[in-house]
Structure 1
Amino acid sequence: MFISKEGLQSLHNYSFKGEDHSFCANHILAPLIWEPLLKNVIPRWLAPNILTTIGFISMTVAWIILAITVPTGTEPIHPIIYLLTIICIFIYQIADNVDGRQARRTKNATPLGELFDHGNDSLMIGIFALVVVLALKTTTLLTLSVLLMLYLIFFLSHWEEYHTGVLILGPLLNPTELQLMVIGMLLGETVYSDIITISIFGFQVNTTIAFCVIFGAFGALAMYSYNVYAFIKDTKKCSFKDSLKRLFPFMQFFLLTGVLFLLTDEVFIRNNFHSIVAITILLNAFITQRIILNRICKEEVDSYYYINIIYAFYVFLMVCNVQKDLITFIMLLISIGQEALFAVIVSLTMSKEIGINVWTVKQWAE
């Protein structure tokens, strides 16, 4: 399930290719925080996947705190909540950047480690996006629209990597800088809670940021599409039409979620805000994890996943106002179950094939 026999064989030829040109990561955070932690605090016997899991737990704690204190997505956020969220983001950022370094240091860089890391990122981007939209304090519809666009941007980066085989993080506006910008925004709101809603030259800051994200997402679509087109034109590994077909599973989710956000009663969405957002975070993560797995295993991307069919039925019932509380609860359980099933089966299958343990290092250099 999830991986073919041919895909399992491809794991033995695995090699990660990535370029991180982040100024803050390479010239500030790495020499001042990440490398000293690796050298003086993190033991060599600690599995990289445990570090990844620490980051996951940290952001999950942030989500739980927000779900309790901002249940409808419209409540004012206390400065202490901002500070706790900042701490959680910072812990996640450290864990997300030292896990790969720990893998290379202990000679335990594996395809499972990459999937574990980037699969975790696909969940965390949803929670991170939730933090952003709650901090913006916009209308419910605009909040959900920004959330959906952030899903799109993240997926497109992995769609590009599927074709090029290289994950390239630019010198500016990559994950590290964006995380620091959000931390700065949260710090600003901690000091002055209304800073995000002030107007500058007649433009309200939060609304302006929200629309910049929305239009930026379409700009990202154009940029990633061009990059894939140029790569295919040079290498002739496939047709551009084939590359667009690999967007189908995500675009199904994207369009269905757009319908859900637009046509579902706004009062119901506010009263069930975190349940509905959780469903979209989990489905977006699953679809993104599938294309990451397909790339690692050198397999073709499916045209659709059965979870999208279930999701389409859910959206239809929601729009028709059929037992919305019940079907939302059921859809949430299905989404959690699907993600858990994928994580367990793929982890066990890959670890067995390449002869490693998910939670321990196979060897490390003294």
Structure 2
Amino acid sequence: MGYIPQASLENLKKYSYKGLDKSLLSKYVLNPFWTWFVTLWPLSIAPNTITLTGLMIVIINFATMLYYDPVYLTEKGGAVGPPQWLFFTWAVGLFLYQSLDAIDGKQARRTGMAGPLGEMFDHGCDALNTTLECLLTSYALNLGRSWWTIAAQIATLANFYLTTWEEYHTGILYLGVFSGPVEGIIMIVIIYICTGLFGPSFWDQRILTIAKLEHDPRFKNIPNVGLNEALMVFAGFGLALNIMNSYHNVRQASKRSGKSPLQALLLLLPFVVSAAIQVLWLSHPEFNHSAIINSATFVPFVGAWGLQFAHQVGRMILAHVTSTPFPRWDWIWIWSVLGAVDANLPHILGCPPIIQTSHKNTTIFVWLTLVVSFVTYARFCYLVINDITNYLGIACFTVRKRDEKGVWRHKDVPNGKQS
């Protein structure tokens, strides 16, 4: 008994990756570097190994944040501040992640391993990286535990969801002139470098104050926001632009296939619902005695949210490569719905919470949510990888070899079963 139905497995052989990158930075600067960089990797290294290596670098960056600032994960105060040189390692790590994420597809074509498994594995790692980098970037911008970080989480996850939703309906992975995987990552690298040079408090400076315009009457109606807040606003405009571009591409694809664009648009609701659940859980800390957004439970809460999102988009990508219906509901949300309803019982029924009756109980429940979310996503990854590798006769981290006839065969598959 496998995770993917037999009829859906048969669609894997029909899958073909299609991508369109309009980025000038990618075309003229980064892609020539990536084309050279991939030649440094032996053909014996599987593309998924390269992808996983990139994710592990980001996880190490995240671990160093917690190591050098344990208060961020253990006490209410938080943000005691790591050494500034650490932010340079984050910049290097993220740039390496981007480079490895870019060359895994090139390595797949070099080794004859391009296919649906690589698509699933690559997007799965990207989904995890999205939340980890959101927490690291918010930390570097001195936003810490705040609603600005929650807004950043929603914006980054929304961008990823939009791209996956767009690819499902168009069959093409579009990267625009300004995209998160290219320009967005380079911007974050620059943020890390600036934080390493000037410290996190640098981003708290007010824009008009820096420009010496705060007393100019011509700018009296313009909010004198911090640099970090201004970047968040900029990200909001970027999200709005991506929404319009993605909808335009999906609308055109729907018209060509004779389908209703409205039906595709409604499939954005699953993300809205999932994000609303998390916000509702956070929105009433005074009633559930948790103050999640101001406590050490903030990091595991956002981590659980990210894992649930990875499970959600993982099912979307699986639906894309197997040509199956778009997933509208994810059962893992039930756990967060329970937390949100329990926290809001004073509003709903006028009674105190049943589970989150104290800060200790809330902490236990949030950490339990993280564990359940991790196990659920890990199980999904294992079962899907197992089904795809068994059906196609390949391995996730082993490169196939050519036989005497020049046919690609996997060296670990019994009887040389072809993929």
- The equivalent residue for 2:309 is 284
- Scaled by the length of structure 1, the TM-score of the pair is 0.92
Given that 1:136 and 1:210 are in contact with CA atoms closer than 8 Å, whether structure 2 keeps it comes out as: no
The gaps in structure 1 that reach 5 residues or longer are: none
| CA apart distance, 1:172 | 2.7
Q: Which moved more, 1:268-277 or 1:119-128?
A: 268-277
| CA apart distance, 1:15 | 0.5
| CA apart distance, 1:343 | 0.7
- The equivalent residue for 2:334 is 309
Does the residue aligned with 2:401 lie in a helix, a strand or coil? coil
The gaps in structure 2 that reach 5 residues or longer are: 209-223, 345-352, 409-419
Given that 1:144 and 1:261 are in contact with CA atoms closer than 8 Å, whether structure 2 keeps it comes out as: no
> Within the alignment, does 1:355 sit opposite 2:388 as a pair?
no
> Within the alignment, does 1:344 sit opposite 2:390 as a pair?
no
- The equivalent residue for 1:51 is 50
- The equivalent residue for 1:64 is 63
Does the residue aligned with 1:16 lie in a helix, a strand or coil? coil
Q: Distance in 1 between matches of 2:26 and 2:262?
A: 36
- The equivalent residue for 1:235 is 257
Matched to 2:182, the amino acid is: T
| CA apart distance, 1:247 | 2.7
Q: CA distance change for structure 1 residues 36 and 230 in 2, over 3 Å: closer, same or farther?
A: closer
Matched to 2:308, the amino acid is: L
Given that 1:275 and 1:332 are in contact with CA atoms closer than 8 Å, whether structure 2 keeps it comes out as: yes
Does the residue aligned with 2:283 lie in a helix, a strand or coil? helix
Given that 1:107 and 1:363 are in contact with CA atoms closer than 8 Å, whether structure 2 keeps it comes out as: no
Aligned length: 363
- The equivalent residue for 2:26 is 25
Given that 2:162 and 2:243 are in contact with CA atoms closer than 8 Å, whether structure 1 keeps it comes out as: yes
State the Cα deviation string for residues 251-272 of structure 1 (Å, max 9, x = none): 2211111212322357433321
- The equivalent residue for 2:12 is 11
Does the residue aligned with 1:306 lie in a helix, a strand or coil? coil
Q: Give me the identity figure in percent.
A: 25
Does the residue aligned with 1:203 lie in a helix, a strand or coil? coil
Q: Which moved more, 1:183-192 or 1:172-181?
A: 172-181
Q: Which moved more, 1:50-59 or 1:212-221?
A: 212-221
Q: CA distance change for structure 1 residues 225 and 75 in 2, over 3 Å: closer, same or farther?
A: farther
> Within the alignment, does 1:38 sit opposite 2:44 as a pair?
no
The 5-angstrom pairing of residues 199-278 of structure 1 reads 199-201=206-208, 202-236=224-258, 238-264=259-285, 267-269=291-293, 270-278=295-303
| CA apart distance, 1:174 | 4.0
Q: Distance in 1 between matches of 2:328 and 2:119?
A: 24
State the Cα deviation string for residues 169-202 of structure 1 (Å, max 9, x = none): 1233441211111111111111111332222223
Given that 2:4 and 2:384 are in contact with CA atoms closer than 8 Å, whether structure 1 keeps it comes out as: yes
Does the residue aligned with 1:303 lie in a helix, a strand or coil? coil
Given that 1:252 and 1:308 are in contact with CA atoms closer than 8 Å, whether structure 2 keeps it comes out as: no
| CA apart distance, 1:215 | 4.5
Matched to 1:92, the amino acid is: Y
| CA apart distance, 1:219 | 4.1
- The equivalent residue for 2:366 is 328
Given that 2:140 and 2:192 are in contact with CA atoms closer than 8 Å, whether structure 1 keeps it comes out as: yes
The 5-angstrom pairing of residues 13-162 of structure 1 reads 13-32=14-33, 34-39=34-39, 41-70=40-69, 71=72, 74-138=79-143, 140-162=146-168
| CA apart distance, 1:228 | 1.7
| CA apart distance, 1:102 | 0.3
Q: Which moved more, 1:52-61 or 1:307-316?
A: 307-316
Q: Distance in 2 between matches of 1:328 and 1:172?
A: 36
Does the residue aligned with 2:174 lie in a helix, a strand or coil? strand
Q: Which moved more, 1:253-262 or 1:114-123?
A: 253-262
Q: CA distance change for structure 1 residues 260 and 67 in 2, over 3 Å: closer, same or farther?
A: farther
When Rg is computed on C-alpha atoms for both structures, the one with the higher figure is 2
Q: Which moved more, 1:77-86 or 1:292-301?
A: 77-86
| CA apart distance, 1:29 | 2.5
Given that 1:141 and 1:262 are in contact with CA atoms closer than 8 Å, whether structure 2 keeps it comes out as: no
Given that 2:55 and 2:125 are in contact with CA atoms closer than 8 Å, whether structure 1 keeps it comes out as: yes
| CA apart distance, 1:141 | 1.4
Q: CA distance change for structure 1 residues 253 and 75 in 2, over 3 Å: closer, same or farther?
A: farther
Q: Would you tell me which structure has more helix in proportion to its own residues?
A: 1
Matched to 1:164, the amino acid is: T
Q: CA distance change for structure 1 residues 20 and 218 in 2, over 3 Å: closer, same or farther?
A: closer
Q: Which moved more, 1:130-139 or 1:276-285?
A: 130-139
